[in-house]
Amino acid sequence: MIKIDNVSKKYQTIPVLKNVNATISQGGVTAIIGPNGAGKSTLLSIISRLLLADEGQVKIQNMDVVNTPSDKLATYLSVLRQENRFTSRLTVFELVGFGRYPYSKGRLNQDDLAHIHRALEFLNLTEYKDRFLDELSGGQRQRAYVAMVLCQDTDYVLLDEPLNNLDMKHAVAMMKQLRRAADELGKTIVIVIHDINFASVYSDYILAMKDGQLVYQGSPKKIMNSAILEEIFDTPVKIENIHNQNIAIYY
Amino acid sequence: MRVNQKRHISSRKTVLLLLAIATFCVIFFMTFNLKGNISYILTHRVWIALTMILVAFSAATSTLLFQTVTNNRILTPSIMGFESLFVLIQTVVIFFIDAQGIPYIGIVGKFIFESLLLILFSLFLYRGLFTKLKQNLHLVLLIGIILGTLFRSFSNLLQRLMTPTEFAVLQSRIFATFTRAEPVLIVFSLVIATAIGLFLWRMRFRFDVLALGRDNAINLGIDYQKSVTIILLLVSVLVSISTALVGPFTFLGLLIANLAYSISGSSQHRFLLPTAFLLGVIFLVGGQMFLEHVLNMVGALSIVIEFIGGSLFIFLILKKVPM
Per-residue pLDDT at B7:
66
Q: What is the CATH number of the domain that holds B198?
A: 1.10.3470.10
A123-127, B5-9, B98-102: segment of lowest average pLDDT: B98-102
Please report the ipTM that was assigned to this predicted complex: 0.89
| DSSP per-residue letters across B290-309 | IIIIIS--TT-HHHHHHHHH
Sign of CA dihedral A103, A105, A107, A113: positive
Q: Cα–Cα distance between B73 and B311 in angstroms, integer?
A: 15
- Predicted confidence (pLDDT) per residue in B96-111, tens digit: 776 565 566 677 777 7
Task: Report strand pairing: A238-242 vs A213-218.
Answer: unpaired
Nearest-CA neighbor of A81 among A192, A7, A167, A199? A192
Q: How far is B73 from chain A (nearest CA, A)?
A: 8
Higher-scoring residue by pLDDT: B191, B245: B191
Sequence-ordered list of residues with C-beta below 8 angstroms from that of A81, at least 6 positions apart, any chain: A45, A50, A160, B215, B216
* Interfacial B residues in 247-266 facing A (CB < 8 Å): none
pLDDT band (50, 70, 90) for residue B323: very low
Q: Do B220 and A149 touch (CB under 8 A)?
A: no
Q: Across the interface, do B213 and A102 touch by the CB < 8 Å criterion?
A: no
pLDDT band of residue B1 (cuts 50, 70, 90) is very low
B 213-252: CB under 8 A from A: 213-216, 218-224
pLDDT at residue B155 above 50? Answer: yes
A80 with A162: CB under 8 angstroms? yes
> Taking CB atoms and an 8 Å cut-off, how many pairs form between chains A and B?
80
How many other C-beta atoms lie within 10 A of the C-beta of residue A149? 26
Nearest to A25 by CA among A189, A153, A211: A189
Residue A82: its pLDDT value, please?
82
pLDDT at residue number B92? 83
Whether B68 and B210 have beta carbons less than 8 Å apart is answered as: yes
Q: Which residue of B has its CA nearest to A113?
A: B1
Identify the CATH homologous superfamily for domain A1-69+156-162+186-251.
P-loop containing nucleotide triphosphate hydrolases (3.40.50.300)
Q: DSSP readout, B122-188?
A: HHHHHHHHHHHSTT-HHHHHHHHHHHHHHHHHHHHHHHHHS-HHHHHHHHTTSS--SS---HHHHHH
Q: CA–CA separation, A194 vs A241, rounded Å?
A: 20
User: pLDDT band for position B133 (50/70/90)?
Assistant: low
Element (H, E) at A218: strand A213-218
Q: Which domain holds residue B163?
A: 2-320
Q: What is the pTM of this model?
A: 0.86
**pLDDT tens digits along A195-246:** 888 988 899 999 999 888 888 888 888 888 888 888 888 888 888 888 888 8
Sheet strands side by side (includes A188-192): A77-80, A156-160, A188-192, A28-33, A205-210, A213-218
Which residues in chain A have Cβ-Cβ distances shorter than 8 Å to B4? 91, 93-94, 130
The pLDDT assigned to B233 comes to: 87
> Is residue A171's pLDDT more than 50?
yes
β-bridge partners, A188:
A28, A156
Contact criterion met (CB < 8 Å) for B205 and A101 = yes
A55-60: strand order across its sheet: A14-24, A2-11, A55-60, A63-64
- Count the Cβ atoms, other than its own, within 10 Å of residue B191: 9
Domain ranges of chain A: 1-69+156-162+186-251, 77-153
Cα–Cα distance between B174 and A76 in angstroms, integer?
A: 52
The C-alpha of B197 sits at a distance from chain A's nearest C-alpha, in angstroms, of 18
The count of domains in chain B is: 1
The answer to whether the Cβ–Cβ distance between A87 and B208 falls below 8 Å is: no
Residue B283 CA, distance from chain mean position: 13
Q: Is the pLDDT of residue A12 over 70?
A: yes
* Cα nearest neighbour of A107 on chain B: B205
d(CA B114, CA B87): 9
Phi-psi category of residue A234: left, alpha or beta, with phi > 0 → left and psi -120 to 50 → alpha:
left
**Pick the residue with more confidence: B166 or A168?**
A168
- Please give the pLDDT value at position B63: 93
The DSSP bridge pattern shows strands A77-80 and A28-33 to be unpaired
Cβ-nearest to A105 among B71, B205, B214: B205
CB A122 within 8 A of CB A147: yes
A78 touches A152 (CB < 8 A): yes
**Cα separation, B266 vs B7, whole angstroms:** 7
